[in-house]
Chains A and B, each alone.
With several copies, the nearest count.
Chain A
Amino acid sequence: METSLVLQNLLSPPVLFFALGVISVLVRSDLEIPAPLPKLFSLYLLLAIGFRGGVELQHSGLGFQVLSTVLAAMLMSVLVPLYSFLVLRRQLDVFNAAAIAATYGSISAVTFITAESFLDVTRTSHDGFMVAALALMESPAIIVGLLLVKLAGAQQRPEAQGGPSIRWRSLLHEAFLNSSVLLLIGSLLIGLMVAAFSPQGLEKMEPFTGKLFYGALSFFLLDMGIVAAQRLSDLRRAGAFLIGFAVLMPLFNAAVGLGLSLLLGLPQGDALLFMVLCASASYIAVPAAMRMTVPEANPSLYISTALGVTFPFNIIVGIPLYMAMLQLVIPAG
């Protein structure tokens, strides 16, 4: 069973194009997708995933399971940074530990989208409200990350030291109104409203947000492969401890996610998405926020672990592995 899942994932266009991107860096080809084209695809994917999630959420409605799942997801985005911080402090200073911890509390939208595509290809149903969970896991992780710095790093960071002091307003702003959260939640609400009130509008959006989606994801993963592989050289400097963390922590988080999914009574497809949310790490919103609020931390550490190790691990090994675990405990929908 598991081998077939792994193969099915490995031989899907998104993962294969990711591999092509990695290979092109390894063989030192001059293949590149120049800025701002990757931004086009990342904006498109957020818009489309939000819109589609909103449409499905409108169809399913806001029941108890929706609320409890979203709450559990937000809980995880608070807990994961806390226990990650304890682990990371064994080797890193407060600033780097807090920044990396926040990264793992948050999510990777592309990992989520790849998991969704995996479910679509294996014809496993899943619910639109998982996109809401995705959107609501970024902000708490960012806030916890900075609280950790404030509490644990107070003495190392005299406010009077010269730097412009971080005001809470700007932190909350960064946490709740950064572009990816805003676009995701905005598109979700738009999808919800359009599904409710404008069936023709919905139908006319379909070719853009629906049909095109899988190909655009594949194209974007070509770029992600290039970017992830370019990060590999940073890893040598990061060392074995961080690389181990970047593989083992997702596995642990996925296991916790599996437990919670059972408690929540999630069906197979939603449980996979929940596990992927727990297991993935942010390389967009959180790094941007950390750079602003914890400039003492070294960006190459938190970006490289999230993007160079955890992202490929989840895309290639994680998704089918989590699915195989799920198939042992949750019957197919």
Chain B
Amino acid sequence: MQRLDLIISERELERVLPLIDAAQAPGYTVMRHVTGRGPHGMVSESMEFSGFGANAHVIVFCEQPVLEALRLGLKPILEYYGGVGFVSAAEPF
């Protein structure tokens, strides 16, 4: 089984979550109000009152085929809007 960690802007959540559903992931978990720094610069909580939003951390535990489907759907979004994804191995508890 695989674990996918996505860190994207909160603004893109409403595009990303339907894609996760479409890839038939068994579920996902979202943490909002996340901040950080990445290749596209700093994201701080202080701009959250604006519509600009902070980051969201999305975790998906899924099998390899779903991961491939996710990659297909999400890559263009990460490339266009920024955001990163990392994969590690995991097992059901």
Q: Check A222 for interface membership: any CB of B closer than 8 A.
A: no
Contacts A163-B76, A163-B79, A163-B80 given; does A287 touch B49 at CB 8 Å? no
Partner of B50, one of A162, A287, A292: A287
Q: How far is the CB of A114 from chain B (nearest CB, A)?
A: 16
Contact status B46-A226, CB under 8 Å: yes
Q: Check A180 for interface membership: any CB of B closer than 8 A.
A: yes
- Pair count A-B, CB < 8 A: 72
Q: Which of B20-28, B51-59, B64-72 contacts A (4 or more CB under 8 A)?
A: B51-59
Q: Check B31 for interface membership: any CB of A closer than 8 A.
A: no
Contact status A38-B49, CB under 8 Å: yes
Specify which chain A residues have a CB less than 8 angstroms from the CB of B81 in the assembled complex: 291-292, 295
Q: Check A303 for interface membership: any CB of B closer than 8 A.
A: yes
Question: What's the Cα separation between A35 and B85 when bound, in Å?
Answer: 25
Specify which chain A residues have a CB less than 8 angstroms from the CB of B41 in the assembled complex: 298-300
Partner of A299, one of B48, B52, B77: B52
Contact status A30-B49, CB under 8 Å: no
Interface residues on chain B, number (Cβ under 8 Å): 24
Q: How far is the CB of A215 from chain B (nearest CB, A)?
A: 18
Q: How far is the CB of B74 from chain A (nearest CB, A)?
A: 11
Specify which chain B residues have a CB less than 8 angstroms from the CB of A298 in the assembled complex: 41
B15, B44, B48, B77 pick with most chain A CB within 10 angstroms: B48
Beta-carbon contacts under 8 Å, A275-333 to B: 283-285, 287-289, 291-292, 295, 298-300, 303
Specify which chain B residues have a CB less than 8 angstroms from the CB of A226 in the assembled complex: 46
Interface residues, chain A, with chain B CB atoms under 8 Å away: 30, 32, 34-36, 38-39, 41-42, 162-164, 178-180, 223, 226-227, 230, 283-285, 287-289, 291-292, 295, 298-300, 303
**30 CB-based A-B contacts, threshold 8 Å:** A32-B46, A34-B32, A34-B45, A35-B54, A36-B48, A38-B46, A38-B48, A39-B48, A42-B49, A42-B50, A162-B79, A162-B80, A163-B76, A164-B15, A164-B76, A164-B77, A179-B51, A180-B51, A284-B49, A284-B50, A285-B51, A287-B51, A287-B52, A288-B11, A288-B52, A291-B11, A291-B81, A299-B41, A303-B47, A303-B52
- 8 closest A-B pairs by CB: A288-B51, A163-B80, A38-B49, A35-B48, A284-B50, A39-B49, A227-B46, A42-B49
